[in-house]
Structure 1
Amino acid sequence: MNDGGGPGDARGFPSPAQDYFHGGIDLNRHLIRDRTCTFIMRVSGNSMAASGISDGDELIVDRSLTPRDGSVVVAVVDGELIIRRLYLSGDHVRLQTDDGGVPTEVPELADLSIWGVVTRCLHHV
């Protein structure tokens, strides 16, 4: 017996939300500025929780962006990958956690590179 319905056939009253629907969201276009330079990294630890970055979250990191004073960055310090807030003052660089921990002062001779700038945090609810 065929009831006349098929895939996608809506029954009942239309949703009031239908008036506000303007098509889907392309998450690639919405979240990623440069596909060739963007990566997703998983966070381990809660040292950046005050910025809304928690253990297990995924970060969208753009390597094409120039880091600015106050940016949350992925840095490589002496071979270790860390997530910190970047503070610049003249030639002085400071990498700071949000948990009030001791800032990572970067000595002039340290092996430091800013791997990328965090643009988004994907947080599970």
Structure 2
Amino acid sequence: MYGELVTMGDAGVITLFSMGIVFATLLLISYVLDLFKVIFTEKKKETAAKSVAAPAPAVPAAVVEEDDDELVAVITAALAAHIGKSSDQLIVRSIVQTGGQQPAWAQAGRMELMK
């Protein structure tokens, strides 16, 4: 079909044919991934329904009253000692608790940034 000489028309046909094959393959991969999502989502829904069937009894949360001024003073002193400045040179505007919900790698990265 294609000899030693390939014309511009032949190159266009080859290009369109190749692009069609690539597009069809990507479309097939997309459908396979959607199928996987449907298959594995149904199994998770069934296990979630079983675990929700027996709810745990509600436990009231214990309210801990702390002296916020003392906590701010301790955190400010620790921060001043870490930075190497006096606590008079620092202004603490807000204190937000982190941890517990973040993965260990996120906490390690945060500690690296604080050094």
Instruction: Give the alignment's TM-score, normalised by structure 1.
Output: 0.23
The structure showing larger relative contact order (alpha-carbon pairs under 8 Å, at least 6 residues apart) is: 1
> Which structure is larger by alpha-carbon Rg, 1 or 2?
2
Comparing both structures, which one devotes a greater share of its residues to helix?
2
TM-score, scaled relative to structure 2: 0.25
